[in-house]
Structure 1
Amino acid sequence: MGNGELEHRELREPSAQAAFSDIASPIVDEAIEQAKGVASNPSAEGLHQLRISMRRLRSLWWSYRPLLDAGENTRQGDLFRSLSDSAGKARDYDILIELLKQQQRGGKALPSEISDARQKALDTGRTVLSNPEMKTILLDALSQATRELAARKDRTPLQTFSDGRVIASEKQLRRRMRRAATVKNSNVAAFHDVRKAGKKTRYLLELFGPVLSGGHGKALNRLKKIQKRFGALNDVVVSENLLRNNASLLAGIADPEKTLKWFRKERERRLRAAAALLRKYRK
């Protein structure tokens, strides 16, 4: 390919380096607006949406890892994960409450200890994520990565880059699926790794969708099914851990042993359902 043809191609198709800000900026802006909403009217759903934005940013930064300083890229990824975790605590208690309602089938009122813990998590998330410094942190992360990419002398066509990073993400997902398929069903960590890898691949397909070569509709549908089935498993695992690791939450439940037994059985049932879907998609 001659220099003239290469220059013409770059005019038609932006480079991955040049496109980064256009992809990342809307997510950063959305996260900043969501943080403002959390500050003025905190809700578990608002925090959940902010958590999704943090996960999307983390996935995007992961995709650009080959083009960014490794140490700084890891630091930013850890930052997004920390913010995501802060946003998710209250949502975890909401899921626990819903599962307890299922277990009790409209029986006794839930203990005040659980609603108090949920409110505390909501307040903590609001305090962390409504901090004015959060806007500065996110804008600094965007600015730094944009400058670093602009300073690179090489240029990678956006489609080539996007295809390659989606393929890398899909390979990681397949490795985790193979591992989960070979471990005992009691190994929830392996299934959780599949869920995380599936989310990352889904986010990348959505972020890079317009420029990817080929169709990915079938892959997206599969990922949504994995996310739903494996997310249901994660819900019961997280809720069970909340109960087991917080004696005060169990204190107000009339029959804690019966409740824990129900969660154990529900976890096993959802593990089997997740394993069945895994077998289906590995054929």
Structure 2
Amino acid sequence: MDMDSDWPLPRPRTFFRIDRQRATASLTRKSSIASTFSLLAMPVVVEAVQRAKTLSTEVDPDAFHQLRVAFRKLRALYWAYSPWLGEEATAQASDEFKRLAAVAGGTRDWDIAGDLLETAQKSDASIERLVTAVREKRAQAVAHSQAMIDSGAVEAFLNDAVLRAQTTLQSCCDDLPISAFAKKRVRLAQRTLRKRSRRAARSETGREENLHDVRKAGKKLRYLLEFFQPVIKGGHDRTIKELTSVQKTLGEFNDIAASETLIRNTTFEDVPAEIVEKSLQWLERKKCQRIHVASRRVKELSG
């Protein structure tokens, strides 16, 4: 979908300005579905805009990652409110969040691949040539991300998206309490994670795809718990901590699998094919080790 043609990115005059601490303090179980949306969305929007502005002049690897995380959080939030926002509006916003996250993530992907190959280089010095080539690809990815992520356009799009959503919600659920709705959406996310975990635990084929599905479902649930914790009963700190731990394990596996795919699908003109192949073999061995660890964690989660 071409978001620039289907949904122009205007620069609205109305901007939400919400302090993070005030937003948390204002969120109660008696708050309405409509009023909570902007309270939850805008701190993430502010962070995304600030990081986009920073990345126009800096190339901090973690900043690219955190920008990608901000867009993922917004996708989770739009999913939560999608019963009231409608499928079309949710899909339009989510597609653009996904696109922006992918652009921001390009640099991060090359950083991860480079770090892994530096480890491989310790056991085979010839891999240094590929490490150098990967760092060059990383520099190209930085330039691409900076060219594609215009902070002004990002700010205009995000503010307009929140304004549209807020207007829709105020027209249909301004007087409906958030508590029961939040619990329902969290339960649905929990069921999805449980279903995907059990499928991954039973499956003997497509293990990488199934683990990736578990990872995505776990992220969504964790983000929703972080968003809605003030308005749903029961402490969820333990659940969030467990999900974070599982995500770390799955993330370590995904980093290796994604790096292997990235290297395999890239042409390195100045690197001999045998060096690339040795690197891929090293990544494959590490991936096999990690997939067993990740599978065990998912089995524990499914049980």
Fold-level match, TM-score > 0.5?
yes
Distance 1:213 1:133 in 2: 39
Contact 2:186/2:224 (8 A) holds in 1: yes
Distance 2:219 2:31 in 1: 26
| Larger mean Cα displacement after TM superposition, 81-90 or 157-166 | 157-166
State percent identity of aligned pairs.
33
Q: Which residue in 2 is equivalent to 1:5?
A: none
In the alignment, does 2:46 pair up with 1:26? no
The DSSP-based 3-state class of the residue aligned with 1:132 is helix
Q: 1:223 to 1:12 in 2, by over 3 A?
A: closer
Once the two structures are TM-superposed, the CA of residue 41 in structure 1 deviates from its matched residue by 1.8
Once the two structures are TM-superposed, the CA of residue 153 in structure 1 deviates from its matched residue by 5.2
Among 221, 231, 234, the alignment partner of 1:201 is: 221
Q: Which residue in 1 is equivalent to 2:245?
A: 225
Distance 2:269 2:244 in 1: 33
| Larger mean Cα displacement after TM superposition, 160-169 or 101-110 | 101-110
Once the two structures are TM-superposed, the CA of residue 218 in structure 1 deviates from its matched residue by 2.0
Write the mapping of 1:111-190 to structure 2, written as runs, cut at 5 A: 111=130, 112-152=132-172, 155-184=175-204, 187-190=207-210
Distance 2:116 2:134 in 1: 12
Once the two structures are TM-superposed, the CA of residue 254 in structure 1 deviates from its matched residue by 6.1
TM-score when scaled to structure 1? 0.91
The DSSP-based 3-state class of the residue aligned with 2:56 is helix
| Larger mean Cα displacement after TM superposition, 102-111 or 177-186 | 102-111
Q: Which residue in 2 is equivalent to 1:84?
A: 101
**Equivalent pairs, count:** 273
Please tell me the residue identity of whatever aligns with 1:54: F
Please tell me the residue identity of whatever aligns with 1:200: K
- Unaligned 5+ residue runs, structure 1? 1-10
| Larger mean Cα displacement after TM superposition, 173-182 or 152-161 | 152-161
Distance 2:206 2:284 in 1: 11
Once the two structures are TM-superposed, the CA of residue 208 in structure 1 deviates from its matched residue by 1.1
- Unaligned 5+ residue runs, structure 2? 1-27
| Larger mean Cα displacement after TM superposition, 42-51 or 68-77 | 42-51
The DSSP-based 3-state class of the residue aligned with 2:268 is helix
Deviations 1:76-128 (A, max 9, x none): 11110111111001111111011111112173534332111111111111111
Distance 1:249 1:49 in 2: 32
